[in-house]
Amino acid sequence: MTVVDTAETTVAADGAGRPPGPAGKPVPLGLGLLAAVLAGLTLLVSFPPYGLWWAAPVGVALLTVAVHRRRMRAGFGLGVIAGLALFLPMLSWTNLYTGQLPWLLLSGLQACYLGLLGGAVAATSRLVDRVRWSWPLVTGVLWVAQEALRDRTPFGGFPWGRLAFSQGDSPLLRLATLGGAPLVTFGVALAGGLLVTAVWRPWRAAGAGGWARAAGFVAGAAAVSVLGLLLPVGIAGAGAGTATVAIVQGNVPRMGLDFNAQRQAVLENHVSATIDLAGQVATGAARQPDLVVWPENASDVDPVRNEEAGRRISDAADAINAPILVGAVLLGPGEGQVRNAGLVWLPKTGVDQSQLYVKRHPVPFAEYVPLRSIARKVSKEVDRVRNDFVAGSEPGVLRVGGVSLGDVICFEVAYDEVVRDTVTNGAQVLVVQTNNATFNEAEAEQQLAMVRLRAVEHGREALMASTVGVSGFVGADGRVTGATGFNTEAVVTREMHLGDARTVATRVGLWPEMALLAMAVAALVAAALIRRRSLPGDGTATAGDPADAEER
């Protein structure tokens, strides 16, 4: 009898369908489409501003249900659908002032990575059906592999929407202290894999033993989700002294892409707020800070070259009698080039040229335009970026008044190695300078969630200073204090503990991610070998697998 291999079933010549060995049948296509859409939406609500962290494993499980036992191209398509349901609303802040095309292109690109994930999950169907205990593990490592690729490609990647960044209020956040964001993502996806292992079985024929096994898998998912409670956090960030730090959120006259056309007013806002703080210190209404932090783009007038801008910053530093970490745009080093920088401004003496950090990971198509002539044909909006920002080469470790700051600027907080480099080079606290004036509150809250993970990952207290909000302090245990409102002026002062010890995650760096990637490659190779052996070669189909019998 001739056998024809299809995506869902092996169909005999008489037209009767039966499961092709361990591959079996997927859910009906209509249910698969629904599951893919629900997967994206469920993942969405796990992130700020919704913050339903427990929804992330459910989203992972729904995507797996949608693509399991399908062809790779069908898995890719359903993964893209899930990705669009996730990224279109999540990244909607990118279209507030630039039009819809950049938003659609970015969301579509990110969705394609979930498409690749969907194809990979579909490709491993035979493996996990044969070796059922491996299903959660395979799910976990494939999600880590997808994020590793998305975090780095193209043009340095775009890590927004990593599963790890949805876990700010979850016990799983504590896994970051062992293996950073990749290990947290693995934990979330592992829990999702346990859920799908529980639900993927013919319940009417399962019997009491089947129900008991399913309950065990669900309990396992719950246990994974609370596993982090066993891990101590914050230890590395204690015992090395303290420093009183003030965040100045000066606000902007109006939101939008023309914030830099208001640059003199934005600078004046931050100067005035700092001088007001100095007045409160003089009356005893506020504590004297050891350091003041201004956000990214607080001075889009180069204060090193512009005498008036430099004088106003000196006025603020002299009034508060403390160093100010200024987020500034500096001209050069070449003609038509600029730098996004954090520089230290000292009272009485002015700028400290030895303490300067230049952003190492400028944002493509926002701070510089790759392939400008081609990009212009896609959207004229690229011409808003008149001068390309030049990337720095050194980690952002600034030594100010006996305190070593780990400075990262805006989206750099999403990149593992950029943050880790500051800690391995001696940073005692983490400082994230950002400008959210071209976005909205949801974007700011998503970014603050990244700061929370970094604080736990490296055992360092941290802060985020924004032009418009949300600004705030984060403890080494990931808890937020002093969070400001959005689109408002605010000044917040806190005592920060200086950390010197290193967490396991800081010490091991990329190795946990590399180990999980190796496991993902091994799973894909094993799945390919099983598929090759299962394909009909002599007119018969492989059958009789134990998992196949269970699904019947």
pLDDT of residue 98: 67
- Quickly state the pLDDT bin for 97 (edges 50, 70, 90): low
Give the C-alpha separation, 284 to 427, whole Å. Answer: 31
Higher pLDDT, 98 or 163: 163
Confidence (pLDDT) at 401: 80
Query: Mean pLDDT across the stretch 276-297?
Result: 97
Q: Return d(Cα 382, Cα 369) in angstroms, integer.
A: 7
Indicate the helix (H) or strand (E) that contains 443: helix 441-458
Contact 506, 181 (CB under 8 A): no
AA identity, residue 107: S
pLDDT classification of 227: cutoffs 50, 70, 90 = confident
Of the residues 8, 296, 412, 513, only one is catalytic, namely 296
Lowest mean pLDDT among 70-79, 256-265, 298-307, 533-542: 533-542
- Between CA 44 and CA 161 the distance in angstroms is 8
Contact 286, 495 (CB under 8 A): no
Q: Is 308 a catalytic residue?
A: no
Nearest C-alpha neighbor of 295 from the set 334, 269, 275 = 269
Backbone φ and ψ of 503, nearest 5°: -75, 170
Instruction: State yes or no: is 359 an active-site residue.
Output: yes
pLDDT of residue 12: 34
pLDDT in tens, 131-142: 999 999 999 999
CB-based contacts of 341, cutoff 8 Å, min separation 6? 327, 328, 329, 330, 356, 357, 358, 359, 392
> Is residue 410 among the annotated active site residues?
yes
Calculate ∠ Cα 141-143-144, nearest 5°. Answer: 65
**Residues in Cβ contact with 45 at an 8 Å cutoff, skipping those fewer than 6 apart:** 52, 55
pLDDT digits (tens, 9 = 90+) for 111-159: 999 999 999 999 999 999 999 999 999 999 999 999 999 999 999 999 9
Catalytic residue selected from 8, 147, 359, 551: 359
Which of 367, 410, 412, 513 is catalytic? The answer is 410
**pLDDT at residue 381 above 70?**
no
Alpha-carbon span 63 to 152, nearest angstrom = 23
Q: What is the mean pLDDT of residues 64-85?
A: 98
Given a cut of 50, is residue 483 above it in pLDDT?
A: yes
- What is the chain's alpha carbon radius of gyration, rounded to the nearest angstrom? 26
pLDDT digits (tens, 9 = 90+) for 166-200: 999 999 999 999 999 999 999 999 999 999 999 88
Closest by alpha carbon to 361, among 432, 418, 426, 304? 418
Is the pLDDT reported for residue 234 higher than 80? no
